[in-house]
Amino acid sequence: MSKYKWYKSIRTRMLISYFAVVLMILVVGIGGIYHIKRVYRNGNRIYDTNLKSVDYLKTLNINVRQIDQRVLSMLEGLGNMTVAEYRAEIEKLKDSNAMIMEKYEKLEFSELEKRRYKQCRLSMLTLNKNIESLMDMVEEGNIDGAKSLYDQELMPVEACTFELLDAVAELATKNAEESNADNYGIYQRIMIAIIITIVLAVLLAVGISLRVSGTITEKLGIIQRWAKRISEYNVSEDIKELGEDEFGVTSKALNDSQFMIRDLVEKIMEESTLISDTGKEISGSIRKSKQRIEEMNLKMLESDKGTMELVNQIKDIMLVNSLPPELIEKMKALHELTNNNSVSLDLFQEELNSMATYMEQIAVTSDHQNRMAEEHKEQVRKFKVNKEPV
Amino acid sequence: MGCYKYIKRKALKLGIILGLAFPLVLTGCGDDAADNKEKDGYVAVICKSSQHEFWRTMEKGAMDAGEELNLKVTFEAPEDESHLDDQIALIEKAIDNRADAIVLAPLDTDKLNDVVEKAVDNGIPVITLDSDITSGKRLATIGTNNVTAGAIAARYEAQLIDDKGQVAIIGHVEGAQTAIERMKGFVDEINVNHQDIEIVEETYTGGDVLVAYDVTKRILTQYPDLKGLYATNEGSAVGAARAVEEMGLSDKIIVIGFDSSDDEISYLKKGVIDGMMVQNPYNMGYLGVRNIYKAINGSSIEKTIDTGAIYVNRDNLMDEDIQWYLYPLGKN
């Protein structure tokens, strides 16, 4: 006998299966979120270090070029500015550079970039010293000396500074590209993981659905075949064991019902037979009694005729005037008694007729009951309650 | 088989698949291709010597640039700075090996012109480092402005000997442009701005420590009133410092050197050397390879790049910037 176990039910299995799919998606989701966070952090890092540093280096480069332009303008006497004004502007640009360098140095960058930057910083310091010397010369009025210093010393150091600024910027850009490539790699891995998960989840879902629907269809088929047998009055075969799930419980209930039907069929058969037999017996007995009553009735009719003759004879006798009054009186009493007797006989006869009619009705009813029972038996006989021998 | 068992079996299989697939998917596969990729060019770096730390630092700069730019960089040098023929042979070898470019620290300003021009005629661009040649066919020169560095050294020498007295110059390789310029810068500055100072001798040591030691001893003996020495490279400075220390003249003689080997720094700390002009050989090597790479890729480059020089004494020795100058590769 099947016993329902919740952990073996189809619903639980379905829930477990879908939970597995959800868990899988969840695991990938959490992994995805973690990697997306990595991408986000990488993005921030690229901005905070590489891009900011490239930006700072670019500004330094522009500032150095502006200083160079001011120095050249000062040496060539271009513009309407005084030497002091040029110096103030150059100092301002140098201060700006110092500030940018201070900011830049606070950034976190690779050891190699740090080393390159330090080299660049030293070159910028040398350049600053050369600019100081040059401006001193200009202020002293030694323009030729300053021009010579510019050509011989300042320009080559500037070239070195630009080269090193470029080198650091290239390195920072390369680091940014590498970080970005790392991000791209993470993105690709997330995409692959998502695709694999979707494919696996779909395969799993399809597999589970096929398996579960297969199980349901198979068990429904068994029940369907059972129902077909029932429709063909075959209640002899129980549904086979369908496990401990909802189908198992249902099949057990159906088998119990079938057992009840089988039991009922047998009982109906027995009782119909009994009813049929009893009906036949009653019908026979009643008909025999009716026949006897009819015979009695005939005898009664004959007796009534005799009584009527007797009454008439008494009447005739009474019509004789020679009879003493006492006798007449006695004849009158006898006539009345006989007459009454005849009436009673008529009444009795009527009653017997009526009884015979009732008995006929009972017999007819019994016949009908008998036929009904036979018909029921015929119907119930259609039910197959025992397995055919194999 | 029950649905439960089926799912259980499938779940186990799935777990194994996921267990194997996810680490692979989430960690990604290594890319070994990067390690074996072909280089974008071959640059031969030929220096004056490999004896001194100066050249080893330059080699490191060149190699770092090569690595950054994906270039094959070879570093070769004669045994010492007197073997000019060996350097010519190395240039010839680079030409034969079909180098894409040559970065050269020439031992002589004139005697290398022919071989450099031969290289250029063979389509091999040349950049000079540290010192230059007279041929106009080289693309650029990268190094210290030695005249300026010499003049700065002279100013500190003058300041330390109170602007008067005798000084001697211990030069390195006679005929080498660096020696000529460093001496010229020093001499010009003394002659123009410090006229109470007398330069009693200008001599050459070939950059050899022992020769410099002997020469210095002789000068110190010959000029007992000598107040200062100016040595134009690492070997000369170390030889001179050793002689001064041995003769117990550390307090009397002001020694200004060039470059920054461990020996020189040690003598600086001991007070034998009073100051030194420190160049940036790392940047020379680095920028040399970087610029030749730009040149072979068709970009324009500056004709002259000054990698700078800085005066180092006991007062600023421990400054962060100075430390970076002294130890571009980091302290050992």
Q: Give the residue extent of every domain in chain A.
A: 6-224, 246-381
* B163 and B250 share one domain: yes
CATH code matching the domain that covers A6-224, chosen among 1.20.1560.10, 1.10.3720.10, 1.20.120.30, 3.10.20.30: 1.20.120.30
Q: Tell if the CB–CB gap between B18 and A24 is shorter than 8 Å.
A: yes
Q: Is residue B29 in some structural domain? A: no
Which of A65-69, A110-114, B154-158 bottoms out in mean pLDDT, i.e. has the lowest? Answer: A110-114
| Residue B187 forms part of a structural domain | yes
Q: Regarding beta strands B72-76 and B42-46, do their DSSP bridges make them parallel or antiparallel, or are they unpaired? A: parallel
The CATH number linked to B69 is 3.40.50.2300
Residues of the domain holding B125: 39-144+281-301
B112 plus B259 within the same structural domain: no
Residues B180 and B272 in one domain: yes
Domain co-membership, B200 together with B84: no
**Is it the case that residue A389 has pLDDT exceeding 70?**
no
Q: Strand B140-143: give its sheet, edge to edge.
A: B72-76, B42-46, B101-104, B126-129, B140-143, B304-306
Beta bridge partner(s), residue B255 = B229
Nearest to A376 by CA among A278, A265, A262, A282: A265
Can you give the pLDDT at residue B273?
Answer: 97
Same domain assignment for residues B87 and B184: no
Minimum CA–CA partner of B64 in chain A? A112
Q: Do B26 and A160 touch (CB under 8 A)?
A: no
Residue A195 has pLDDT above 80, yes or no: yes
What's the domain count of chain B? 2
Contact (CB<8Å) B305/A121: no
- pLDDT of the residue at A388: 59
CB-nearest to B7 from A17, A159, A160 is A17
pLDDT at B206 over 80: yes
Compare A357 and A42 and report the one with higher pLDDT: A357
Q: Which of residues 266-285 of B touch A (CB under 8 A)?
A: 280, 282-283
Write the residue in A35, A118, A174 that is nearest to B324 by C-beta: A118
B315-326 pLDDT, tens digit each: 999 988 788 778
Coil, helix or strand for B198? Answer: strand
Q: Is residue B192 part of a domain?
A: yes
Is residue A169 pLDDT above 70, yes or no?
A: yes
CB within 8 Å: A160 and B22: no
Query: Is B255 contained in some domain?
Result: yes
- B233-270 per-residue burial string, b: 16 or more CB within 10 A, e: under 16: bbbbbbbbbbbbbeeebbeebbbbbbbbbebbbebbee
Q: Residues A107-127: what's their mean pLDDT?
A: 83
Q: Which residues contact B189 (CB under 8 A, 6 or more apart)?
A: B150, B151, B154, B155, B158
Domain annotation covers residue B90: yes
pLDDT category, A46, cuts 50, 70, 90? confident
Statement: the pTM of the whole predicted model exceeds 0.80: no
Q: Are B271 and B292 within one domain? A: no
Label residue B6 by pLDDT band (50, 70, 90): low
Interface test with A, best of B189, B280, B306, B329 (most A CBs within 10 A): B306
Count of A-B CB contacts under 8 Å: 109
Whether B173 and B224 map to the same domain: the answer is yes
B128 interfaces chain A, CB cutoff of 8 Å: no
pLDDT band at B1 (very low <50, low <70, confident <90, very high): very low
- The SS3 call for residue A92 is helix
* B 151-170 residues with CB < 8 A to A: none
Same domain for B272 and B150, yes or no, is yes
Q: How does residue A348 score in pLDDT terms, banded at 50, 70 and 90?
A: confident
pLDDT in tens, B54-97: 888 899 999 999 998 999 999 999 987 778 899 999 999 999 99
Question: Given this model, what pLDDT does residue B332 score?
Answer: 55
Which residues in B lie closer than 8 A to residue A164 (C-beta atoms)? 283, 287
* Residue range B135-185, pLDDT digits in tens: 889 999 999 989 989 999 999 999 999 999 999 999 998 888 889 999 999
Q: Are B179 and B160 in a shared domain? A: yes
Helix (H/G/I), strand (E/B), else coil: B277:
strand
pLDDT of residue A248: 86
Candidates A284, A285, A229; CA nearest to A258 is A229
pLDDT digits (tens, 9 = 90+) for A216-247: 888 888 888 888 888 888 888 888 877 888 88
**Chain A residue with the nearest C-alpha to that of B283:** A119
Q: Tell whether B19 lies on the interface with A, counting CB pairs under 8 A.
A: no
Cβ of B22 within 8 Å of Cβ of A157? The answer is no
Are residues B79 and B131 located together in one domain of the fold?
yes
> A246-381 maps to which CATH number?
1.10.287
Q: Do B287 and A156 touch (CB under 8 A)?
A: no
Please state, rounded to an integer, the average pLDDT across all residues of chain A.
84
**B157 shares a domain with B250:** yes
Contact across the interface for B291 and A163, Cβ inside 8 Å:
yes
Average predicted confidence (pLDDT) for chain B: 87
Q: Which residues of B touch A185 (CB under 8 A)?
A: 28
Q: Assess if residue B53 is contained within a domain.
A: yes
B134/B166 same-domain check:
no
